[in-house]
Amino acid sequence: MTPPKISKQESPIVEALWPWEALPIREITTGIRGPDRRAAYSTVQTMVYRLEAKGVVRRVEKIRNYDVFEASVTREIAERQIVGDCLQFFERQVGPFLEHSIAMGRMTMAHLRDTEAIPEGCGAVGRRSRLILFVGLRDKTL
């Protein structure tokens, strides 16, 4: 079963739930508010119910007349979905994705060394030398 997609507008709600076990909608609304964000309670409530229909969050209890929700999708699953969508956009070519990460300073040699620990069977490149050759970074310094 593929994990449900979380939109850009829905992600702050799920991010507010991940650190906590469960939260009512009022606390979720408070958690996502910031100086540039003023989400109304009814907007957050609608989005939480949509996330519940998608299976991203689940209602764990009802206290008086308000519902308490928890995230049913872990951060790792959501991140894998986002990365998978990005790679699909690049037609499964990792090169442009990695080159952009390196150019933006988001990836270092330490990150590339960490890929050596990834087993070959995971679908990821397990050796740094193969990764550098694949991306075409052999002549570039990191």
The model's pLDDT over 57-108, given as tens digits with 9 standing for 90+, comes to: 999 999 888 899 999 999 998 888 888 887 788 777 777 777 777 888 877 7
- Quickly count: other Cβ atoms within 10 Å of residue 24's Cβ: 16
Distance separating alpha carbons of residues 6 and 74, to the nearest angstrom:
12
Answer yes or no: do 9 and 73 share one domain: yes
Answer yes or no: do 100 and 84 share one domain: no
Between 111 and 26, name the one with better pLDDT.
26
Mean pLDDT of the residues in the chain: 78
Answer yes or no: do 30 and 53 share one domain: yes
CATH at residue 81? 1.10.10.10
- Residue 4 is encoded by which pair of tokens? 């449900």
Could you give the number of structural domains in the chain? 2
Phi-psi category of 24—alpha, beta or left, where left has phi over 0 and alpha has psi -120 to 50?
beta
Answer yes or no: do 136 and 104 share one domain: yes
Answer yes or no: do 64 and 2 share one domain: yes
Which range marks the domain in which residue 133 is found? Answer: 93-142
94-103 vs 128-135: helix axis angle to the nearest 10? 90
Upper half-sphere CA count for residue 60 (Cβ side, 13 Å): 14
User: To which H or E segment does residue 61 belong?
Assistant: strand 57-63
